[in-house]
Structure 1
């Protein structure tokens, strides 16, 4: 039980297909107590999905772009986890439709993508800090930002900023005993992915380019990597990006 006795905060659970849902499920199976977050119209959905976990999970209201929500996060966590958190999963990303046209995107669309998909990692880390234990772990989900992917456009730029944010967060939280790492997952057919225009471009080619093959319907490999990083099995690893993509990141075109 690699997470026995630990308490984790998991964001981004919207459907049973989401990587975050599988992280929450596997974490519970490995002994963790899991708290979920949601807000607004999706709160009701998350509460329904929370009941489908092995152990129904409490859902805390959190919009990572709302300063009042962020300021209240530590107190909300303490209501359900008086001893604090051992780990946080950041599974948050959004870009308006206009951000998926690189040359024509407005700053309003781009700034939203960067705020929600990159800056929020720092915002969440700082908000959780008062209840994070030394030895804790923050794990985020990215889509390898070293390339200019088809159709990804400003979301790709936001992911590059996200990966840089992780490095700086690791620098500043390391002295407090907190690790910060990312999992770069291959394309998974989630609700968020389906909202990306042309996502099928990734689905059609990834499996053929992956030495290990790739199943766009299987979120568990990425979830297992997140659970491992949330555990104590990587005590000296921070500012890292673990690729769970079937090996595509290392292949030539």
Structure 2
């Protein structure tokens, strides 16, 4: 059984109970971790506070990860409240909706910039801040998708951003390894989250995934949560810079 008792985890990207971040939060809390939940803005505050009511001991903090001043403020609050961090979960991604509807060749400069700023650079920014509080080492976990490697219709600029995210995981792992901080990505199969609804043809993606994956089914949020708990624990002490697939085996298939 995974034991995260006495460890402090901060989770970015918990929007609602369909979020992958929600499944991760549940698994970390069940394993004994103390949770700090970050919500994006004042509009999301009531939603976040409603969610943490089901996570005993969890606390909510506001932070827009595209704003350096808010990141600095959040980590000052975390330092004051917990003194240190052990786990960081980055479950954040965004691209303007129109960028996921048009052909990829029509990607706009601003859409490209925004997708990479929110989905990729934010991992660097929060990891840099978290590393200062990970005085006993730590585990940083982000979320990616197979569209980083192969063309997935309608995934468009998010696929390019996820490819950059996976490269970022490797570079951060190399930088932070000397501090015993591990950095890994989980590549989950398509899941019907609020964010995923913005991708055209999601139903077709889910159907194709279930038909072609060796396990012949779609991925459950709880499976991603369990993998995150493993990566957060000492059981994964020798794993860093990796992309771990939780996709019912879909990625191994040629066709």
Answer whether contact 1:99 1:113 (CA < 8 A) is retained: no
Provide the rounded CA distance (Å) in 1 between the counterparts of 2:197 and 2:44: 17
> After the TM superposition, which of the residue ranges 104-113 and 194-203 deviates more from structure 2?
194-203
Provide the rounded CA distance (Å) in 1 between the counterparts of 2:112 and 2:209: 27
After superposition, residues 54-73 of structure 1 pair within 5 angstroms as 55-73=56-74
Asked if 1:211 is matched to 2:214, the reply is yes
Q: Secondary structure at the match of 1:139?
A: strand
Aligned to 1:25: 26
Aligned to 2:82: 81
| Shift in Å, 1:46 | 1.2
Asked if 1:138 is matched to 2:168, the reply is no
| Shift in Å, 1:52 | 2.2
Pairing partner for 1:175 from 148, 156, 178: 178
Pairing partner for 2:249 from 247, 250, 253: 247
Provide the rounded CA distance (Å) in 1 between the counterparts of 2:247 and 2:117: 26
- TM-score of the two chains, using structure 2 as the length reference: 0.94
For residues 93-122 of structure 1, give each alpha carbon's deviation from its aligned partner in whole angstroms, at most 9, with x where no partner exists: 000023223111210011100111111111
Provide the rounded CA distance (Å) in 2 between the counterparts of 1:203 and 1:160: 21
* Ranges of 4+ aligned residues in structure 1 off by more than 2 Å: 213-216
| Shift in Å, 1:74 | 2.0
Give the gaps of 5 or more residues in structure 1.
none
- TM-score of the two chains, using structure 1 as the length reference: 0.95
| Shift in Å, 1:50 | 1.3
Answer whether contact 2:8 2:34 (CA < 8 A) is retained: yes
For residues 182-240 of structure 1, give each alpha carbon's deviation from its aligned partner in whole angstroms, at most 9, with x where no partner exists: 10000111111112222222112111111113235x20011110110011111121000
Aligned to 2:202: 199
Provide the rounded CA distance (Å) in 1 between the counterparts of 2:127 and 2:121: 10
Pairwise CA RMSD of aligned residues?
1.3
Q: Secondary structure at the match of 1:197?
A: coil
Aligned residues: 250
Provide the rounded CA distance (Å) in 2 between the counterparts of 1:193 and 1:64: 20
Provide the rounded CA distance (Å) in 2 between the counterparts of 1:50 and 1:156: 31
Aligned to 2:158: 155
| Shift in Å, 1:17 | 1.5
